[in-house]
Structure 1
């Protein structure tokens, strides 16, 4: 039997609560190769059950956590260009053209 909308919402809230309850103080953070220690960059850490934590190298106190399904959807979307910036005056894109 398929989950109702309320059951799905409750399950996702439980997953989020469990994910944020994890002690991640000892995780190993990874960043893209070729970046210098002093450069701002995104860092990720692999968590149990395929989950991922993400933070800025300049702000270790703000950590976002994603379930395996959320991370997979993000990575696939990024590969497909879903998050590519469209050139606008606000992001400097039109000036670069």
Structure 2
């Protein structure tokens, strides 16, 4: 992962956060993601239960690689529940 500058509090307040519709019944343990409004293409990710907590920021290329892997099934882990 490349080194990035950490977004300011003001930048994070302007993020239009999104939660997957598939997470709506997840009991509130969801991941939120949204683009930074600075035109860099970077995407911020946070835990929905801790909106003031840590935020991880990815470059557009990193985000697209992750989304591509999800669409290709690279993160389809086997069900280990009993």
The alignment's TM-score, normalised by the length of structure 2, stands at 0.73
What root-mean-square deviation, in Å, do the aligned CA atoms of Structure 1 and Structure 2 show? 2.2
Aligned partner (choices 64, 67, 91) of residue 59 of structure 2: 67
5+ residue gaps, structure 2, are: none
Runs of 4+ aligned residues of structure 1 deviating over 6 Å after TM superposition are: none
Query: Based on CA coordinates, which of the two structures has the bigger radius of gyration?
Result: 1
Which fold has the larger relative contact order, with Cα–Cα distance below 8 Å and residues 6 or more apart in sequence? 2
- State how many pairs are aligned: 75
Distance 1:30 1:52 in 2: 11
The alignment's TM-score, normalised by the length of structure 1, stands at 0.63
Instruction: Report the structure, 1 or 2, having the larger helix content.
Output: 1
TM superposition shift of 1:49 = 2.1
